[in-house]
Structure formats: C-alpha cells, structure tokens
Structure 1
Amino acid sequence: MPKEAFYRLGESKKSQLDQVLFNVFSANHISQVKVADIVSQMNMARGSFYNYFEDLADAHEYVVRDKYMKLHRKIMEFIYQKQTDLFAGIEDYLRWISSLDEDSQDFKDMVFLLTNDSLRSYKRIPIAANSENSQYKMIDSWMKIVDENNFTKIQTKEEGMTFLFFIMELVTNCLKTYLANSWDENQLICDYQMKVSWLKSGIL
C-alpha cells in the first residue's frame, strides 16, 4: 500500500496521480509498465515515485484496491435504497452500470477492476471491537440489512462478512460474464435473476 508521503499529498496532486496511475495501468499490463511512464506524465523526478510506493506492484495493488472499494460502495448504495430486498438493490445496480456509456469513468473503473484481478481485493480485515471504527460501523449496517432480509441462518458478524464477500463475488461474476459475452442489459439481468433463483430455491 502507499507510503505515508502519498497520503500527505495535496488533494489536487493526489487526484492527478490517481488518474495517471489508472490511465497507465488501464492501457498496459503491469509487466509492460515502467516507472518512467508514470513520472513523465506527472512531471516529477523518478525518486518521487518511490517516496509514495515501494514499487510498481505496490502502485498497481493500490489502484485495484481503490477501484474495488469504490465499486463496493456503489453497490451498497443501491442495496441501502432497497433495504428489505437486497437482491432487488443489486439488480438496480446492474441495470445502472450496464446503462452507462463505455467512456464514463464508472464504466471504465468497472472494466479495469474486472480485468485486473488481485488477491488484495479478497483480503479481509479483522473485525474491530471498537464501535467507533468505520469498518465496525459498516459491518453493523450490513448486519441490519441481513436482519431486514430475514437471512436467519446468518447469525454472527463473521458469517455476515463471509456473506458480504459472497454477494460481491456474485455481482462481479455476473459483470465478468456480461463483459466477456458483450451482453446487453436484458441478458445480464436474466443471468443474474437465474443465479439468484438458485440461491433462493436451490437446484435440487
């Protein structure tokens, strides 16, 4: 992850660096990226890059993680809007993302994330006991959604977190299939609804 100096950057410069990193890693596989590609666009010394990141892999993981968290937050926005029908909220998200212009930043972010798998996006942070911790509050909100959807088999926060990652994997699986097959919105939603029906009713 980024070094402390990265987080001390001014908002404007940090946003610029974020965009440059995204553009470079979107256009090329990490194996083809050089530090020079980044520093030349930022008009900064090569050594400055290493003030912010350990290496290119560190910078790449930062971008993937950042895009994953943004995707996660956007999906949760739609879920919160349909508090008592989690699967309807996800369907609304899928309809929204598939309706976007391919040149929109949200669509580009989604494509980048789904074509740049990283184990870091699956890494789980231990649940903190401090109720003031932002992650604790997020988990607490998620567990309320679980309760309101009557998912009675999920009883602990640990189970809730596993279910959350499972749901996110369902969404990304649908989106990957959508991209790989150049589907339209209706095909994406049909695929999603079929998978949800398996979850709700089983296949036996």
Structure 2
Amino acid sequence: MSKARKNSANTNKSSGNIRIIAGKHRGRKLPVIDAEGLRPTTDRVKETVFNWLMPYVQGSHCLDCFAGAGSLGFEALSRHAEHVTFLELNKQAAKQLIANKQLLGATNCEVFQTNTLEFLSTPASKQYDLIFIDPPFRQGLVEKVSNLLASGWLAPQAIVYLEQEAEATSTVLPDNWQLLKNKTMGQVSYQLYQLK
C-alpha cells in the first residue's frame, strides 16, 4: 500500500511498476506513478481475485471504477476481456494509464480522466459484465458507486469485485447483489458479487 505524501513535488514521480501475472501479456511490467492514495493491488491478491474471476473474464466488458494504476483492468485485458473502460480522477494517473495502454498496444480499452460518481450519474451508455470497485478507503464511496451502477450500468448477471477496508462491515449494497466469495487479508476485505 503506497503511503499518501503531503509534498506535491513527489506526487508525479514514477514509483515502480505493476506486473501482469497471466494471459497474453504475462510477465509485462507497467510503470506506476507515486500518487496520493494510489494502492495498486498486490500480485498475491490479484492472483486470488483472478482465480475467482476465471469463468467470467474472457469476452467480458469491464468497468474499472477507480482504476489507479490499472492493475485489475490490464490483468483483465491480458486474460482476453473484450473491452475495459478505466475511470480515474487523478490526472497524472490517468495519463499513465493511457501510456500503459499504448505500451501494450491495447486498442480495446479506453481511459476517462473523470470523477467516477459524476460519470456514473449520467445515463448509462452501455452495460458491463464485470466491474471492479476498489476506491480510496474511508470515504464512503462503495455504497454511492454501487447505487449508481444499479441505474442501468450492469448487464444481467454481472459480476462485481469489491475491495474495501476490513472494518467497513456496515456497507449497504443493492438487494440483488449475491455474495459469491469473501476474503479478508490484513486491513483489506475482498468480495465477489453477482447480480441475482
């Protein structure tokens, strides 16, 4: 987990990379900027998540709601997702997503530098089969996003991966989200849901 930095001069430096762990881009490393609140999903967690997602990724249309470094979205692309839409508020992080998209030669994804809540508040332009929700912690974003997604963005039987702080036990999700998988590792809780 990257620590938030107060010195803005440090917020745009490259701070390492993410690694794609399977699929057509297996082993590729993509640069990641050092930005406040950016927490690229670790390889260990990503391996667990994509074992869960194995039946659902290929051919899917994915929405990465708080893309950050793009760890989940690029992994889905590598594993033959049909298309990935990345939403990211931080301007430098969004630029890095675009640069990494070009590095991979990925023509089947798009990056929006936008506020996710505002983006999802507009009428749904398409429906997604697979949604990643990994927002900044302790800002109450999970409930807001899940309610907005329910207004037409989700395909029938869509799969939603959710990552939040482990202490967030009172999060209220839509009634038709059925829990498939659940795991807590340290201070982070991971869940997989499917629309009933």
Name the TM-score, length of structure 1 as normaliser. 0.25
Higher RCO structure, 1 or 2 (CA under 8 Å, sep 6+): 1
Going by fraction, where is helix more abundant, 1 or 2? 1
When normalised by structure 2's length, the TM-score is 0.26
More strand by share: 2
